[in-house]
Amino acid sequence: MRLYVNVDHVATLRQARRATEPDVVAAALACEAAGADGITVHLREDRRHIQDADLPALAHALGTVLNVELAAVPEIVTRVATLRPFQATLVPERREELTTEGGLDLGRNVTALTHAVEVLTRAGIRTSLFIDPDVATIDAAATLGVSAVELHTGDFSHTWQRSPTALATLARAARHARERGLAVHAGHGLDYQNTGLVAALGDIEELNIGHSIVARAITCGMHQAVREMRDLIRRAQPSC
């Protein structure tokens, strides 16, 4: 199972002062040195954290791979297609939200999404869709010709302590997506308490984790924060 670390919050801190530190590239390299398999950033339309210049700087510096999250809006799609990162993950975006809330609505946004998938795929980028863990949505995603889906773990991360339902939903969705030939990723709200449960589901091959790792890094450093997450994922994975 791959761990991609989302370093948006490093840029959030930098942008709080419109300063040059903390350095997003240095943080990403520290994640890699601690065992991250890739780095994820979200270039939002409002540029609240990651800035345009961060993308080529990261793409140039990384020894692993870059996964860029983006909304299906032409300006951003063109920018990402030109950069040609290893992976692009299409996500829904609303200006007033604190973070990405809910997965893509594949019924409503099908024209823009189809176009974005075509442009990104034509540029040679592995393309993924961030969706809720719902069988009908997975079936719709499979028709769009993407390589992967990232299952939204927000519901799970809010309810796992009270109820096992969201984990079972996630497990069913992951199995269904794999049976449909899609690579299965997951993320949102995963932390040092709940990630092990998701890592134990055999059908998921990539986790995208940001907030909890960057938050932990503030007290113990990025290297230790990533290393702890990397180790707990490894311990939780089913042995084959």
Cite the active site residues. 42, 69, 188
Q: How far is the CB of 10 from ligand PXP (least distance, A)?
A: 12
Structure tokens at 114: 């189809």
What is the footprint of ligand PXP within residues 60-119 (CB under 6 A)?
69, 89, 91, 99-100
Whether the Cβ atoms of residue 119 and residue 78 lie closer than 8 Å to each other: yes
Q: State in Å, rounded, how far the first CA of the chain is from the last one.
A: 12
Least distance CB 145 / ligand PXP (angstroms):
19
Residue 33 phi, psi (nearest 5): -60, -25
By the 8 A CB rule, do 78 and 37 touch?
Answer: no
List 3, 5, 6, 81, residue binding ligand PXP (CB under 6 A): 6
Residue 131 carries which side chain, given as an amino acid letter?
Answer: I
Closer CB to ligand PXP, 190 or 222, in the complex:
190
Residue 60 burial class via C-beta count within 10 angstroms: exposed 0-12, middle 13-18, buried 19 and up: exposed
- Dist CA 119 CA 207 (whole Å): 25
* Shortest distance, position 239 Cβ to ligand PXP, whole Å: 26
Q: Would you tell me how many other CB atoms lie within 10 Å of the CB of residue 216?
A: 18
- Pick between residue 125 and residue 239 the one whose CB is nearest to ligand PXP: 125
Residue number, 100 or 239, with CB nearest to ligand PXP? 100
Conformational region of residue 151, where left means phi above 0, alpha means psi within -120 to 50, and beta covers everything else: beta
Chain positions 134 to 153 lying near ligand PXP, rule: CB under 6 A, are 150
Q: Which is nearer to ligand PXP, 50 or 171 (CB)?
A: 50
We find the least distance from the C-beta atom of residue 203 to ligand PXP, in angstroms, to be 17
Q: Between vectors from CA 203 to CA 210 and to CA 106, what angle results, nearest 5°?
A: 70
Q: Chain-centre distance of CA 56, in angstroms?
A: 18
Residue count at the site for ligand PXP (CB under 6 A)? Answer: 19
The mark string for 175-204 relative to ligand PXP (x by CB under 6 A, - otherwise) is ------------xxxx--------------
Q: Which one among 50, 88, 117, 130 touches ligand PXP, defined by CB under 6 A?
A: 130
The minimum distance between CB 214 and ligand PXP, in angstroms, equals 8
Q: In this structure, are strands 2-6 and 87-90 parallel, antiparallel, or unpaired? A: unpaired
Of the pair 137, 208, the CB lying nearest ligand PXP is at 208
Residue numbers of the site for ligand PXP (CB under 6 A)? 6, 8, 42, 69, 89, 91, 99-100, 130, 150, 187-190, 208-212
